[in-house]
Chain A
Amino acid sequence: VVYQGVGVVHERERLREPNELKGFNEAVLPHLDAAYNLARWLTRNDQDAEDVVQEASLRAFKYWKGFSGRDCRPWLLAIVRNTFYSWLRERSVQPELTEDGQVDDVDDDIPNPETVLIQNADRELLMAALEDLPVEFREAIVLREMEGLPYKEIADIAGVPIGTVMSRLARARKRLQTFLTNAAPRNRL
């Protein structure tokens, strides 16, 4: 459980409005599942995801008074993402990054019957395919396919241009399709 820095925040926050926590809870807690889902896919681990979300929530509360947007979900997800990368740096883990804008060397003309393999892929295979993606591709897929966010919000969360989001999604999907069609048993065709 991450409680780092709580003592410092305790002193700093002593004079805050009493109903501030209530407002924060009402606005932010409905998005806790989205925050956890992103953290879980980024860390690929339950406990690490909980630690990242808890730390991110404390950071979010710290900056809550300055938040003026209407929809706090992308704001919270951006904090979760930034917390995750801080968490990686603290552990001196280098994420496997790819070069944005490069086209993957993947066969463009996958035979059409492979659509059936993709459509029928089971949960275990899909999880393996997603976990196999480089982290910035994984976050793009999670934010688009699971959270249904538009490209603009994904770009804001990841701090990259929309063109980079498009490139990451296209490359991530191509990798997923290749993984699924190569791994699926042929007798399911």
Chain B
Amino acid sequence: VRQQRRQEAAWGWLFVLPTLLILCAFTVLPAVIAGYYSFTRFDFLSPPLFTGWSNYARALSDPVLGQVTGNTLLMCLGVPVGMALALGLATLLTDRQLRFAAVYRALFFLPVILPLVALGTVWVRLLNTDSGLVNAGLGVLGVPAVPWLTSYGWSKVAVTLVGIWSGFGGSLVVLMGGLSAISMSYYEAARLDGAGSWTLFSRITLPLLTPSLTLVSITSFIGALQIFDLVLVLTNGGPGLSSTSIAQFIYGQAFKSFDMGYAATLSVLLFLLMFALSAGQFWLSERLRVDA
């Protein structure tokens, strides 16, 4: 028996070994490396030079970083909008009287699995100021042409809207999963007590959906904070810096200015920002949570 146990342990280790090796080499090691290089000046030409906290000090007083952080946080405002849309549609689609709910769900989810670069390219075409379908449609309604991708004011808005368009289906699917797990008996009992539909929604649906909502909110914020692909395709961060995101700024520092040390510092700071935001939301949801 002891030999059998030892054999099982050996096989167990062997089975998990490939996963552990890959994760250590290409996730954990880079994370550690980022921490190390964040305290250095490094441009690939000469060996890294230890500079202490100077990169962090530079980040704190970098006006461009402030601007791109502001841009990114504004784009994050799309998260609650997308979630509200997803929640509204999820409650609509879990109504048993509604037919074709599965078809609608499959349709709304479609953009989530399509390559973002391709979707972005489609929207570049649609949002073209002079010949895009969006402005043509608005023109029919009498709205003058909007310079979606080429003006300082609109570029962020356009990126945010396309982000919502491509991502709300993912939240929808998760929220529908959460909704269908809520037992109908709560609703029936509350209805017998004379509760209206708003009461049902705010007193039963929302509290019991908190775990799903938290998951969606955390993953959406993490996605929005590292927005990169869409910005690159839609506006390339422009005009000026008006739609440059944090991730794109980091990319530029690393691969255009070859300031790897500073880029590593910014990566660490971005991670800390995401971690703090996720932890905060998790803490909040634990306080709001109602166990069924």
- Whether A and B are associated in the same complex: the answer reads no
A-side interface residues toward B, CB under 8 Å? none
